[in-house]
Structure 1
């Protein structure tokens, strides 16, 4: 087997007056995790049942012209672009293939997969859970070799065992996985061929430098998100959810490396009523983590932000950003350009009754223009299979 990447811990950069132990830990060492901000409101089992089975619903079918909509098949993943830069290709939902800028004298830029999911259905044993209606732009086998996988949390639509098994087998184990605390045990417990030495767990604000022969190194930093975790009722919140910072470390030093922020799955502020469209109308303050990320690691050349699966707001707002929320995240992290994601791919039992699949991109554009942001330049969208270069 070829050698794995060389991984070196970076000095941890935390917000000012960050407490010890960290406020998101439960226990020392932690046995579970919490969202430590007033912007979050925990939903219990009775609220889940009420929302799923007893709330008024308005079924919104996927438009026929969207079902099975062919993705743009950019199997070169932007390599033929005359512009050299940091590239991000949307696979669908929250899955992206990121390729760092090709440095002078190097074969290519380092490639990182973010929350890779190729399955047709995301849930236990592939038998229940949201169903994909927009296909990925390629198969796992058609992907170019990648160097790292970053996983935001262990929910089925972000950590897909079948995809990871195929990917790891394709590369014969020459692949490093990065995840939040506790997720390593999940990966190893799936028994899909991933070995202990392939997985690196990080806490919020921890970072590593990843180096591989023939490629320029990158830095990966595990940063906060406002969400939840767990693949079964008996292990909810036992693993850590996170967002990710990707930083190029280009040489010569006169050339600044690009940086990317991947929000993963996150809320911004709990909204107590479905009649309130966004955090601007809510009595709760927004999550402070994004301003902290912007201060410590921004500005970012590109941010990948969730804009879908946010309805109904009283139930979802604490863990899933609305398009308006993610415009605020765009500003908080100090992103130069942000692309919407986490929409237009999967349909679940909640979203089919509360959120038309055409609504997230429409609201994303409307919210951007309302805030005076330039559509397509500062804020925008890309098709599944399309590559964005910055």
Structure 2
């Protein structure tokens, strides 16, 4: 760590880096479309700065940080992350009912984002060190012990979306580590059933059970019927309805970058962050959105390929966790936009506005490419 071996430059995955840059450029264009009518073009400039810093950070991690030394510091990082999340509950201001952000000069930082790669580090190390023996249910106990502290603290903020990403990371890494798919499916079904039961219980006994904040509960209620928000679609269901309208307006080839749309007339809420996929659908249409989806899928598949080329199990699992993190964001963001999943406020990787998520993705890919670049002994 700290010394650049110039021979590593020849092992960089240039196609993956190019994909990241293309997606960042697409994101800047879509953010500009989303905020132009709102007079917030300064967000485009900020995102461009975030992108430049993120790319530099990604390359620095790839070239200067040998992923094999990370286990030496991972528990210090983990402890600092958990302590930071606990402090957020006390010092962070409440914004839109959530203590998720802290202000640092002109930018807002979401610390929970940076916990994701740290969680990947500790899970990858434990799974890689595990003895080659049959899996049992008890193997999930140490995994749960690592995931639970940050997950519970983030849920307390409350930020259900990030907790779902933690779950996606954990499930993806367990799968790559060889945990039986049937058991993972059983866990997923059991978790879903428990979630439905808790929502029903809170709706049935609101005075006794209050596990979810009122706005979180209403998001789940309007998932199946946006008009069932008590305001005929003008309350919690408004976001869902406007996103669906924007997607439908795009039709085959889209409405283009200019002209009145759900986005440019300010009907679509949070278009530069949560609903950037709806902006893409309305602006680019089915054809353009398909291209964007294919770019994201290509990025994920390329990253997964690189992960499988790592020289050891730790490097492979490290990369798999990064892919699982980005894939969870992609699936949930696109799913909630088209009405297939409840709204949870997760950004679309490399596309949505937001420095914290963009930096987290760049950190993740930097660690993944650190393992890929050191996949074999350099002889030239």
TM-score (norm 1): 0.27
- Structure with more contact order per residue of length (Cα contacts < 8 Å, sep ≥ 6): 2
| Structure 1 or 2: more strand by fraction | 1
| Structure 1 or 2: more helix by fraction | 2
TM-score (norm 2): 0.27
Structure possessing the higher radius of gyration over alpha carbons: 2
